[in-house]
Amino acid sequence: MKTNCSRLLSILAALVGALVLPSKAQDSPQDYVSAHNQARQAVSVGPVQWDARLAAYAQSYADRLRVDCRLVHSGGPYGENLAMGSGDLSGVRAVNLWVSEKANYYYPTNTCNGVCGHYTQVVWRKSVRIGCGKARCNNGGTIISCNYDPRGNYVNEKPY
């Protein structure tokens, strides 16, 4: 009986941990890089590479935003995309949200019908290094920050 109870408690602890702890699935540096490079390849832009300095900056900023999970840009020296989810938002899902703005971007006139600045930063030809961070917010949500170097989204300049 004691063995069954211990085993049941172990299973219960694992299930609770899976529900409460943030998932690491689709949050590795390679996951972020691959999701960015897939979007970049679709428009014939060269790949980005992971940069530990940018990742440290992004993680530090995401940690600062975890208190209230508001999407407020850092104003730092890099390009920046932010995403927030009410649950455990994965890094790949955040990048895919930004890339979904492609539908709002019209390349011939370099204009947006709605929001597209996150997408144009993802595919900005001159941005070749990225670093991303993720934090669980006090409200149970997730905030993700990705930073880009050199930054992009200059007025009247096409991303690619």
DSSP letter, residue 48: P
User: Distance between alpha carbon 103 and the CA centroid of its chain, in Å?
Assistant: 19
Mean pLDDT of 84-110: 97
Residue 96: HSE in the Cβ half-sphere, 13 Å Cα cutoff: 9
Question: Distance between CA 147 and CA 119 in Å, rounded?
Answer: 13
Topology (CATH) of 48-149:
Pathogenesis-related Protein p14a (3.40.33)
How do the domains of the chain map onto residue ranges?
A: 48-149
**Residue bearing tokens 């691959």:** 34
Question: Distance between CA 38 and CA 125 in Å, rounded?
Answer: 13
Q: Provide the pLDDT confidence category of residue 106 given band limits of 50, 70 and 90.
A: very high
Predicted model pTM: 0.83
Q: Provide the pLDDT confidence category of residue 26 given band limits of 50, 70 and 90.
A: confident
* In the chain, beta strands by DSSP E: 49-50, 79-85, 105-106, 111-112, 129-136, 142-149
Looking at the predicted structure, is the pLDDT value of residue 21 above 90?
no
Q: How confident is the model at residue 31, as a pLDDT? A: 98
Summarize pLDDT for 130-153 with one digit per residue, the tens.
999 999 999 999 999 999 999 999
Q: How confident is the model at residue 8, as a pLDDT? A: 34
Summarize pLDDT for 43-86 with one digit per residue, the tens.
999 999 999 999 999 999 999 999 989 999 999 999 999 999 99
